[in-house]
Amino acid sequence: MGEENNMKATELRAMAAPWNNGVELLVVDGDAVGVNVVMEKKDPASMVDPTMRISRTSAQILMDDLWHAGFRPTEGTGSAGSLKATENHLHDMRRIAFKQLGLDDERRC
């Protein structure tokens, strides 16, 4: 409630664009869509407002869109990173078990 009421209904949507090897972004605010972003040179020491603010709900939608477009966190946290860590641990435990059993080939299981 609180945050959604203080924020505009601005959404930043993303879609994979394999035709240009990238991602296309669309800014939507109610019935309006963003067409261009105007870049301005600023003094590095000056205070600037963010280009846009989006709600936590809109941020989650953007994250979901990027996930569907095939993007994953690079640092390996979250469910994808957790699964990889579990797979690595399982591999290590199998190696230890096979070594303790005196078996050379892990593929015998």
Q: pLDDT tens, 44-71?
A: 999 998 888 888 999 999 999 999 998 8
8 and 60 inside one domain: yes
SS3 label, residue 67: helix
Q: Tens digits of per-residue pLDDT, 14-36?
A: 998 888 888 999 999 888 998 88
Mean pLDDT of 77-97: 81
**What is the pTM (predicted TM-score) of this model?**
0.56
> For the chain, how many structural domains are there in total?
2
33 and 52 inside one domain: yes
Task: Give the residue numbers spanning the domain of 99.
Answer: 76-109
50 and 26 inside one domain: yes
44 and 97 inside one domain: no
62 and 101 inside one domain: no
Taking the CA of residue 31 as centre, how many other CA atoms within 13 Å lie in the half-sphere pointing to its CB? 0
Mean pLDDT of 70-96: 80
DSSP 71: -
86 and 49 inside one domain: no
